Structure 1
């Protein structure tokens, strides 16, 4: 095979040719850190396309179903904005707009002839993380070694989305190996954060996070094994959901660490619209994915659960706030977001209690040992055919011993019934998604790598949703005087905070429910989101 750099050059050239040349723009100068306003000011999108791309998923679907907006014009609008986004933050891998527009035209024709939509996602453009295989396209997943490998069939989830009427149109960037909280690989390079391009959008679904933050896609699919949906959603200021194992089909997709089944990667939705999460989960669950993927959970969308039948119908909820995880104290903007959320919920008539974390450090160690047991060998074998180097920040050493999988009973959660006043245990936990906002590029030493605010829930298989709260404000979020630290690592996290470096970074939080309780998690996140909006 040719030297790996020649493969990269050829692949990049093909990617450039897949972009309509009339959609190329002149990006702002490198000194412009916040590029979120550029897509609407660059002159490429007309007023109608700007309106379309600023519309929430539920409203888009209504207008598509009534033919007020055609699938072709909606797909065109988001495709143009996605290409602009790519030129700003380098978020795309595969670009197949011609294929998408042909699909959109078929949908428009079907609606015109029958007066009916194809399915619940009729005409909706959907972006996909570069793991979800599409027939006839490469799925490199950030590996040079996988260039030139064309898929013979779609992943199950892709088939389901198409059957529901969705229009896949682009795939998004990932880190080499996937197992990293920053988005960088040797084929497509680094993806940056639209709110501050000197910061990371997170990983491994960082391309999705950055694209959706720039409204280049109304709804996307990410994956999450330790926080890879939630960290990019939090760092990019959007909504995201990590479902429980098997709720969304994984069959036919590419992945790292194949065969590791103690802590499973899951697919889930990411969107600017909270309702987008519900619409995605309802459409996928009601498509009976277990008939196509034997590992998918046999559970249709449960409307009673969404209406919080087991949570007092949502009239009087009790949320538990985890201020820190007993390992690392979050930075000032994260703590401020927790205080804002607590006040908003209390104002809305809900009760808020404190959550005491237990054994989070142990769960982090177990998860790390599980992943590291074969990771170095997995990465080296994958890259060996071309000699592609493993990016230095992503190198992991194999663990010398495996720790048994550990999943505690629900006793700790159930015991909170004595303090809620509702007759139930706490309805959900609200906690940070990370101890910091989006971090500077290339800084993923052990300090910047701390992901256990998300990983702990993967180990327990609890579903969790991300919701935006605020942004880093150096005036409001100044560095606090030193406090008593859990240990030197906690002190290192404290010392890395500089309010000017994190300026304007989105600050989001995480709402956690019990296993397979996705419907309730989405509904409770809607309640929290509404309380925050009302309190502004």
Structure 2
């Protein structure tokens, strides 16, 4: 009997993949070593603007945040699809060299697509679709035909897809131009971004801080204006956390609003709390353009799990919320009775409240709810078979399962036998089907309880209807140092995955040590709350974005986008007008 074939050398696989990635970058887009920012330069957000790789016109193109403006210029032939994708490609490559945000780079394919788009517009006088010529970045789990999809696993190097995912097909049909894929953590189940193949993605505003995860490559790339619109996924905060830590907009839709078919994932088969795909952008117009386009493409005809619900223009016009965008009632979730947010996050909530009240809206306090039960329940559902899932994948190459996001893990032991599941989710032996059913039953009961809780807020609003939306922290702090974004901070996002509420992240400000001073100690909820309080040092978080999330009901994406626009406008007007 022949001996079993040993697994491939995972380090050699990773080395070869990185070399092939580098070979895909046009040499003239690479910064010489002398032009790279020194290691001590923490804020690299302006490097693409100052490095000299982009022309003045390419800077003009990529400096536009508003996706609706980009689309208008593309449709009117003021800018060609070729020059737009070239500009964003060059900026993405520069961004990658300083924050390490990309995985798949396929310049020739994107340029060929752009040429086809330009030729079609020149011949017919009409754009191909609502996203004509728009470069779009994709998280490295959204399959594209002919490209590898590793999802941070050395074991999946060489896994070339023979199909496009449904979402990619719909994007092509809408005229979009997918042009890069972005970095993720191994397993995806991390609120940070690091894997053995491509390494660590860092925060553009402070490279000592994390960009978040698991869509951390998207967050960093879009923050540096290397892409106008990207797609990530969210099972416990993986769109919202990177959006918040990188200071951009990001939406977590409800289950089935955006088609997932054809993508790859961790824990496939776990459908108690499904992962969802959603957009990240530097503008709310980008969020709306993506959601409206994909929903209007009837994804339920391509994906059996996509719900049959057309774009709801009345929902966007807030018909269920009084029909008046000037008289809404928002509730502030100041803390979740588990961990009190750091001073910058609390300041963000306070400023948002003042801005909304000045704009004529009513703001109330969100009544306490046992959110810890929801997050604990979701963690147990994940752990039902997560360990088996990770090991089944990594055993193919012998790569270690990453157990911490601390910097010392950049050079991990080759001994996979010593590896355990990530430290933010302790190893479990798995659960019986019966035990899992009880967790699902508990989750349903908590959803029923929370809906009644929300409906009861009609007694607080004075409008005759419940609170229109919740405004909540995304995490308890601004972007933390690498390895410090523990799962307990994800409680502010995980609960809304369990409840299946539509959520949208919006930026508020940045950490200012002169304002965001340490506050007196409060009565701690638990040991983690105490540790979190002691962890706060204004200088550690200096310059990091402050962001919040607006939370609406299930399948209420249209209204959530509209209400986030209301909040965003109020904040901008508040900042522009000095207090009297």
> How many Å apart are 1:315 and its aligned residue?
2.7
Return the alpha-carbon distance in structure 1 between the equivalents of residues 368 and 52 of structure 2.
50
Contact 2:472 2:548 in 1 (8 A): yes
Aligned pair 1:14/2:2, yes or no? no
For residues 40-80 of structure 1, what are the alpha-carbon distances to aligned partners after superposition, in whole Å with 9 as ceiling and x for unaligned? 00001111111100112100000000100000000000000
Other structure's SS at 2:207 match: coil
Aligned pair 1:404/2:415, yes or no? no
Return the alpha-carbon distance in structure 1 between the equivalents of residues 26 and 517 of structure 2.
45
Identify the residue that residue 515 of structure 1 maps to in structure 2: 554
Return the alpha-carbon distance in structure 2 between the equivalents of residues 462 and 205 of structure 1.
19
Other structure's SS at 1:300 match: coil
The 5-angstrom pairing of residues 60-139 of structure 1 reads 60-139=70-149
Aligned pair 1:478/2:517, yes or no? yes
Deviates most, 400-409 or 144-153:
400-409
Identify the residue that residue 328 of structure 2 maps to in structure 1: 317
> How many Å apart are 1:443 and its aligned residue?
2.6
The 5-angstrom pairing of residues 223-234 of structure 1 reads 223-234=233-244
Return the alpha-carbon distance in structure 1 between the equivalents of residues 315 and 368 of structure 2.
26
Other structure's SS at 1:451 match: helix
> How many Å apart are 1:444 and its aligned residue?
4.5
> How many Å apart are 1:445 and its aligned residue?
5.0
Aligned pair 1:493/2:528, yes or no? no
> How many Å apart are 1:442 and its aligned residue?
2.1
Return the alpha-carbon distance in structure 1 between the equivalents of residues 214 and 226 of structure 2.
18
Say which of 142, 147, 150 aligns to 2:157. 147
> How many Å apart are 1:421 and its aligned residue?
1.2
Contact 1:248 1:285 in 2 (8 A): yes
Return the alpha-carbon distance in structure 2 between the equivalents of residues 49 and 381 of structure 1.
45
The 5-angstrom pairing of residues 412-423 of structure 1 reads 412-423=453-464
For residues 303-324 of structure 1, what are the alpha-carbon distances to aligned partners after superposition, in whole Å with 9 as ceiling and x for unaligned? 1110101111223000000000
Say which of 497, 504, 512 aligns to 1:465. 504
Question: Cα gap change, 1:35/1:454 in structure 2, threshold over 3 Å: closer, same or farther?
Answer: same
Return the alpha-carbon distance in structure 1 between the equivalents of residues 314 and 491 of structure 2.
32
For residues 292-344 of structure 1, what are the alpha-carbon distances to aligned partners after superposition, in whole Å with 9 as ceiling and x for unaligned? 00100111111111010111122300000000001110000000000000000
The 5-angstrom pairing of residues 288-303 of structure 1 reads 288-303=298-313
Identify the residue that residue 359 of structure 1 maps to in structure 2: 370
Other structure's SS at 2:209 match: coil
Other structure's SS at 2:191 match: coil
Return the alpha-carbon distance in structure 2 between the equivalents of residues 445 and 136 of structure 1.
36
Question: Cα gap change, 1:523/1:444 in structure 2, threshold over 3 Å: closer, same or farther?
Answer: closer
Say which of 472, 481, 496 aligns to 1:440. 481
For residues 413-442 of structure 1, what are the alpha-carbon distances to aligned partners after superposition, in whole Å with 9 as ceiling and x for unaligned? 111111111121110000100111111012
Say which of 3, 8, 11 aligns to 1:5. 11
Identify the residue that residue 172 of structure 2 maps to in structure 1: 162
Return the alpha-carbon distance in structure 2 between the equivalents of residues 164 and 97 of structure 1.
20
> How many Å apart are 1:191 and its aligned residue?
0.2
Question: What is the total number of aligned residue pairs between the two structures?
Answer: 534
Aligned pair 1:34/2:43, yes or no? yes
> How many Å apart are 1:485 and its aligned residue?
1.1
Aligned pair 1:531/2:573, yes or no? no
Aligned pair 1:212/2:251, yes or no? no
The 5-angstrom pairing of residues 250-265 of structure 1 reads 250-265=260-275
> How many Å apart are 1:260 and its aligned residue?
0.4
Return the alpha-carbon distance in structure 2 between the equivalents of residues 480 and 451 of structure 1.
22
Q: TM-score, normalised by structure 1?
A: 0.98
> How many Å apart are 1:130 and its aligned residue?
0.2
Return the alpha-carbon distance in structure 2 between the equivalents of residues 445 and 114 of structure 1.
53
Contact 2:326 2:359 in 1 (8 A): no
Contact 2:128 2:173 in 1 (8 A): yes
Return the alpha-carbon distance in structure 1 between the equivalents of residues 117 and 46 of structure 2.
31
Return the alpha-carbon distance in structure 1 between the equivalents of residues 230 and 510 of structure 2.
23
Identify the residue that residue 198 of structure 2 maps to in structure 1: 188
Return the alpha-carbon distance in structure 2 between the equivalents of residues 308 and 442 of structure 1.
41
Say which of 394, 397, 408 aligns to 1:386. 397
Return the alpha-carbon distance in structure 1 between the equivalents of residues 134 and 13 of structure 2.
34
Other structure's SS at 1:240 match: strand
Return the alpha-carbon distance in structure 1 between the equivalents of residues 521 and 565 of structure 2.
36
Other structure's SS at 1:277 match: helix
Contact 2:95 2:226 in 1 (8 A): yes
Q: TM-score, normalised by structure 2?
A: 0.91
Contact 2:355 2:570 in 1 (8 A): yes
> Once superposed, what is the RMSD of the aligned Cα atoms?
1.0
Aligned pair 1:53/2:62, yes or no? yes
> How many Å apart are 1:496 and its aligned residue?
1.1
Contact 1:316 1:422 in 2 (8 A): no
